[in-house]
Amino acid sequence: MITVKNNIFQGMIDILPLAISVVPWGILCGTISVDIGFNFWQAQAMSMFVFAGAAQLSAMALITSGAGLIPISSSVFAISSRHLLYCVDLRKDVHELPLKWRIPLAFFLTDEVYAITKSYIHKYDIFSPIYSLTAGIIFYLIWNLSTFAGIMLGQNINNIDKLGLDFAIVAVFIAITAPHLKNLPMLITALVSAISAIYFKSIYPDIYIVIAALIGMTAGYIASEIFE
Amino acid sequence: MKIWLLIVVLSMITFMTRYIFFSKIITYRPGKKLKNFLSFSAQSILTALWVPIVFKYHSNGTISYTDMSYLISTIFVLILGIYRVNMLLIVFLGLSLFLAIKFDLLSFVF
């Protein structure tokens, strides 16, 4: 029998390596938000409430390029749409729980928390709300602390963009996507999306990410229907 | 732009994508085809985000590499990524190479 105490402890242990690996990313988010003109609370609020690394970074990249509310929101929706999959996947385990459980479980449902939740279910054949919630809270605290560190860094160093922070974004995104390139539909998705992004950036600088993403997804979808 | 408004809107978007199917009101569930389509979203969007950072645009409409530091480091990081090197290590090594080329520490090689 797995006890509540064990679940809390194991949630902490399991999320820790994943949480630590996003520390540089959190620092980056904090530093860049200061760099583009956010004040302390605005920069921290991004991590406290939006709480989504890829979405935060791309929102800031778009603000820099002068995009408005609608293009930024639609890009962030497109980026976050993968969470719809996690949400629908965990639905059968979560949707009978009371609202006071469903709201925090949803709020903390990041890529990392989803990943360890799935391996927990795989291992014990049961969903543990307390395990996932503990992992989510730990992840949230580390994410926000690293954002805080990034803000402090950003407020005290000038010309941070010269330190190659934009390349750090490139490296993080490649690290996430490259392992999938061995899968043919995923490779096609990436190639089509890359070419579309380069092409549409010069024509529609505001919404090229959403256009390129949709074209890439469509290409990947068609490829998977053909090859699988 | 009103930064606070943006933060509120983005917070609602990210929360809704994580909550919507936990809701008891929403009975709709995406079918197999829509799920398959959505499974390509992260790959597609993250690629669309990083690729344009590596390239720059000239006023005459041609596209070129911003500079060699981006191109070489990008290829390096891609190779590490394909071989599933740990993410933290990829970022560290990639950024080190990028800065080394940018600040001419490797001028004897390139």
pTM of the full structure: 0.81
Question: Taking the mean position of all CA atoms in its chain, how far away is CA A31?
Answer: 17
Question: Are the beta carbons of B45 and A78 separated by less than 8 Å?
Answer: yes
Main-chain phi, psi angles of B63, to 5 degrees: -115, 140
Q: How many angstroms separate the CA atoms of A116 and A107, rounded?
A: 16
Domain ranges of chain B: 3-102
Burial class (CB in 10 A: 0-12, 13-18, 19+), A162: exposed
Interface check for A53 against chain B (CB to CB < 8 A): the answer is no
Please give, one letter per residue, the 3-state secondary structure of B35-63.
Answer: HHHHCCHHHHHHHHHHHHHHEEECCCCCE
Q: What is the mean pLDDT of chain B?
A: 85
Tell me which chain A residues have a C-beta less than 8 angstroms from the C-beta of B36.
221, 224-225
| pLDDT (tens digit per residue) in A52-70 | 988 998 898 888 878 889 9
Question: Are the beta carbons of B6 and A72 separated by less than 8 Å?
Answer: yes
| pLDDT (tens digit per residue) in B22-52 | 998 888 888 889 989 988 988 898 899 889 8
Interface check for A90 against chain B (CB to CB < 8 A): the answer is yes
Q: CA of B2: which chain A residue's CA is closest?
A: A69
- Nearest residue, CB atoms, B102 vs list A21, A79, A164: A164
The dihedral sign for the CA sequence A103, A136, A77, A179: negative
Q: What is the pLDDT along chain A (228 residues), one digit of tens a residue?
A: 568 889 999 999 999 988 987 888 898 899 889 988 999 999 999 999 999 988 998 898 888 878 889 989 988 998 898 899 899 999 999 989 999 999 999 999 998 999 899 989 999 999 999 999 999 999 999 999 999 999 999 888 766 555 677 787 788 889 888 988 999 999 999 999 999 999 998 888 778 888 999 999 999 999 999 987
To the nearest whole angstrom, how far is the Cα of A65 from the nearest Cα of chain B? Answer: 11
Copy the structure tokens of residue A42.
């605005």
pLDDT attached to residue B62 = 64
Domain ranges of chain A: 4-164, 183-228
- In sequence order, what E strands does A74-227 have? none
| pLDDT (tens digit per residue) in A71-88 | 899 889 988 988 998 999
